[in-house]
């Protein structure tokens, strides 16, 4: 059931802050794989072998290979922001209140689409950091365990700037502050399997009394926690929903 027009009008009049959470589903139609769909990344790789700090210690070559491949995939000229990324950038530019976009995705498609108030809570594929010093830098190419750190010169300490299982997601204080103050929470293209992101809907509902909306291909694990939900591809649902919020188009589909 989509948001009622009178509720949207109230949110707009109140300049209600919006928090948006996105997951891999929003980038699927740009040509990037999701994780848990049948053709997803976890169907080809074992999570415990590539996405934990223990895996990086046990087999850094495999972990570097996994992220080198994904970095190369992101440079494919066919991988571009899609209509859903673009619509969210437009919402941030035109909504009368604050819009914070929190993405679990490590791709750079939201930024390329023009979103500015953006938190990459699980890190960024095109950045690396050093375990030996405080280096955090852009890194568009391949990385190997032999690569020396451009800042401290030591090899073996460089790692992808991503959040693995068991590690603390980034900028949580800022995210929880925004969730506790929002009038509308929108979750897009995420299966709701990974915490703490999967719990954001409850924080927005219980602490802020926010309206909560899920836009996804299918009901997520937490689907029943949302006040409103619409199912279909992000490139259709998100532009339609944004148009409704900005009062210039037809409403989202049921
Ligand atoms: C479409 C579509 C289309 C397809 N249009 N839709 C309770 C509280 C706190 C923590 C835990 C907890 N219970 C367990 C934990 C620990 C753990 C965890 O969650 N485990 C679960 C497996 C149970 N969490 C952690 O370890 C996190 N850290 C942590 O908790 O620190 C302590 C802490 C505690 C309390 C507060 C704060 C902190 C870290 C999690 C790190 C996740 N890392 C990964 C990989 C690294 C980055 C990378 O390589 O990319 O991040 S895992 C992977 O899953 C990736 C994603 O960001 C993440 C979420 O996946 P996402 O985006 O939902 O993708 P899918 O594939 O699952 O779903 C896609 C959806 O799109 C599907 O629904 C499709 O239908 C849909 N879709 N096409 C619209 N066209």
DSSP per position, 17-64: -EEEEE-THHHHTTT---SSSTTSHHHHS-HHHHSSHHHHHH-HHHHH
How far does residue 175's CA lie from ligand 1's centre (Å)? 16
| Residues 202 and 230: beta-carbon distance below 8 Å | no
Rounded CA separation 80/151 (Å): 32
Instruction: Decide: residue 36, CB within 10 A, 0-12 exposed, 13-18 middle, 19+ buried.
Output: middle
Marked catalytic residue, from 122, 132, 161, 205: 122
Predicted pLDDT at 104: 98
Residue minimizing CA distance to atom 33 of ligand 1: 168
Predicted pLDDT at 1: 62
How far does residue 193's CA lie from ligand 1's centre (Å)? 6
User: Quick one: tokens of 110?
Assistant: 């939201």
Predicted pLDDT at 168: 98
Per-residue pLDDT of the chain (254 residues; tens, 9 = 90+): 678 999 999 999 999 999 999 999 999 999 999 999 999 999 999 999 999 999 999 999 999 999 999 999 999 999 999 999 999 999 999 999 999 999 999 999 999 999 999 999 999 999 999 999 999 999 999 999 999 999 999 999 999 999 999 999 999 999 999 999 999 999 999 999 999 999 999 999 999 999 999 999 999 999 999 999 999 999 999 999 999 999 874 444 34
Best CA proximity match to 21, nearest among 240, 214, 211, 180: 214
Instruction: Decide: residue 28, CB within 10 A, 0-12 exposed, 13-18 middle, 19+ buried.
Output: buried
Q: Is 183 in the pocket of ligand 1 (CB under 6 A)?
A: no
């Amino acid at each position: 059931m989509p948001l009622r027009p009178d509720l949207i009008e109230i949110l707009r009049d109140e300049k209600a802050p919006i928090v948006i959470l996105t997951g891999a589903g929003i980038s699927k139609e740009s040509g990037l794989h999701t994780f848990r769909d049948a053709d997803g990344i976890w169907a080809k790789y074992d999570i415990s072998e590539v996405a934990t700090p223990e895996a990086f210690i046990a087999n850094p070559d495999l972990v570097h290979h996994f992220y080198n491949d994904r970095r190369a995939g992101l440079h494919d000229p066919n991988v571009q922001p899609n209509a859903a990324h673009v619509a969210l950038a437009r919402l941030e530019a035109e909504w009368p209140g604050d819009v914070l976009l929190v993405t679990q995705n490590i791709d750079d498609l939201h930024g390329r689409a023009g979103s500015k108030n953006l938190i990459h809570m699980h890190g960024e594929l095109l950045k690396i950091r050093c375990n030996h010093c405080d280096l955090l830098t852009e890194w568009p190419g391949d990385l190997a365990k032999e690569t020396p750190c451009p800042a401290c010169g030591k090899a073996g300490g460089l790692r992808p700037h991503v959040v693995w299982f068991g590690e603390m997601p980034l900028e949580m204080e800022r995210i929880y502050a925004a969730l506790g103050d929002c009038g509308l929470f929108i979750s897009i293209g995420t299966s709701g399997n990974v915490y703490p992101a999967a719990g954001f809907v409850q924080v927005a509902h219980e602490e802020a009394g926010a309206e909560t909306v899920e836009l996804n291909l299918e009901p997520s694990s937490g689907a029943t926690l949302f006040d409103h939900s619409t199912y279909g591809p992000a490139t259709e649902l998100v532009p339609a929903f944004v148009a409704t919020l900005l009062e210039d188009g037809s409403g989202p589909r049921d």
